[in-house]
Amino acid sequence: MPLTLFYSNSKFHTPIISSHYEREEHMKTALIFFFAVLSEVIATTSLKFSEGFTKLLPSIIVVVGYGLSFYLLSISLKIMPIGIAYALWSGIGIILTVIAGILIWRESLDWARIVGIIFIIVGILIINLFSKIPAN
């Protein structure tokens, strides 16, 4: 079975990559979803910079970033199954936030963080590769 994030609402487990329009729609949804996650990571990173909402610009970025991320996520959920979307949202967000922490604040990685991140990645892969439940 090819890796796909989008399924039809039928009782049968069939990927809906049949027409050019549908493929284009799924690519658009994936791009919107990517920007939803990216907005969330930017907002979370700005949350640390806001120092408890005492700095104006980072605080504005937090509010706008979270608002934009949830708006874009809601658009993505018109096509994507919510369980898959949230698993990806959480996993990718955690991984990007850890990378931001390492690059910006020089946070270190110990074995527990590394193993935890690997489990997140494996969990996302298991859901996407082996789940047989179609979207409702």
For residue 1, what pLDDT band results from cuts at 50, 70 and 90? very low
Say if 135 falls within a structural domain. no
Say if 103 falls within a structural domain. yes
* Of 44 and 91, the one with more pLDDT: 44
Q: Has residue 68 got a pLDDT over 70?
A: yes
Q: What is the DSSP letter of 10?
A: S
pLDDT tens digits along 19-41: 777 778 888 999 999 999 999 99
Domain residue limits at 97:
20-130
Q: Has residue 4 got a pLDDT over 70?
A: no
Question: Residue 2 has what pLDDT?
Answer: 45
Say if 9 falls within a structural domain. no
Say if 31 falls within a structural domain. yes
The phi and psi torsions of 17 (rounded to 5 degrees) equal -120, 65
How many structural domains are present in the chain? Answer: 1
